[in-house]
Chain A
Amino acid sequence: MHGVSAETRMRAYAELWPAHPRWGIWAWWAQRVSGVALIVYAAWHIITVAGAARHPERLAAMLQLLRHPVIAGLLLAGLAYHSANGVRLVLFDLGVEAMIRRKAFWAFLAASVLMALAGFSRVVVGLR
C-alpha cells in the first residue's frame, strides 16, 4: 500500500480482528454443492427427455415433480446462487475490484430470486 507507513500498517493489523476471514470457504462449498446438485439433476433431465418417446410416463413424472414447490424452489435457488457466485468469480478472474464484485453478486442474486419467485408463483400457485 502506498502512502501508508509500515508502522501504521502494523498498528492497524495489531489492533484489528478480521471479521469473517473464512467467508470464502462457505461461498465455495455452496458453489460446489449447488453445482453437483445441478449436474445430477441435469443428467436425469437429459435422460428423461431423450427417452420420452419410449417412456412417456417418465417425462410426465418429471414434469409433475418439477411443479412441486420444494423441488422447484431448491432447483431455482441452486441455479440462482451458482450463477450469481459464478459471475462474481468471473469478475475476479477479469481483475475487477472487490467492492464491484460484491455488488454484482448481490444484484445478480436479487434479480435471479425475483425472476425465480415470479416463475415459481406462476407454475406452482397458478397465479398469472
Chain B
Amino acid sequence: MNALLWLLQRVSGLVLIAFVGLHVGVQYGFWRSPFRRPVLIGIDWIMLALVLYHGVNGLRTIAYDYVSHPPTQRLVGSILWIAGLALFVYGSWGLSAISR
C-alpha cells in the first residue's frame, strides 16, 4: 500500500504540472485554451481529484513523520482522507453546477 501511495504521489505530481500549468495559464489569460468547454470541465475535475490526492497524501506523509504511534498515525491519516474526500465531493458538485 505504501508503495502505491508513493507511486501515485509521483504520477499525480507530474500530471498536475501539465494540468495546473494549463489552468493557471488560461485563468490569467496568458493563452486561450485549445480545448472546448466540456473538455476543460473534465480536466478541471481530474485536476480536482489529483490535487486533493497529492495534497492530502503530502500532509499525511508529514504527519507520519511526526507521529510514530501507529494507531494515532492511522487516525490522523483517516481524518485527512475524509477531509479530502469531502472537498472532492463539494468541488465536484460545484463543477457540475458551473457546467450547466
Contact partners of B77 in chain A: CB under 8 A = none
Would you call B87 and A46 a contact (CB within 8 A)?
yes
Please tell me the size bucket of the interface on B: 20 to 34
Interchain CA distance A48-B32 in the complex, whole Å: 24
Interchain nearest-CB distance for A38 vs B (Å): 7
Please tell me the size bucket of the interface on A: 20 to 34
| Interface of A, helix, strand, loop or mixed by DSSP | helix
Contact partners of A86 in chain B: CB under 8 A = 13-14, 17
Interchain nearest-CB distance for A70 vs B (Å): 16
Would you call A118 and B90 a contact (CB within 8 A)?
no
The answer, yes or no, to whether A102 is at the interface (CB within 8 Å) is no
Cβ < 8 Å to B, chain A residues 38-53 = 38-39, 42-43, 46-47, 49-53
B residues apposed to A, CB below 8 Å: 10, 13-14, 16-17, 20-21, 24-25, 28-30, 48, 51-52, 55-56, 58-59, 62, 87, 90-91, 93-95, 97-98
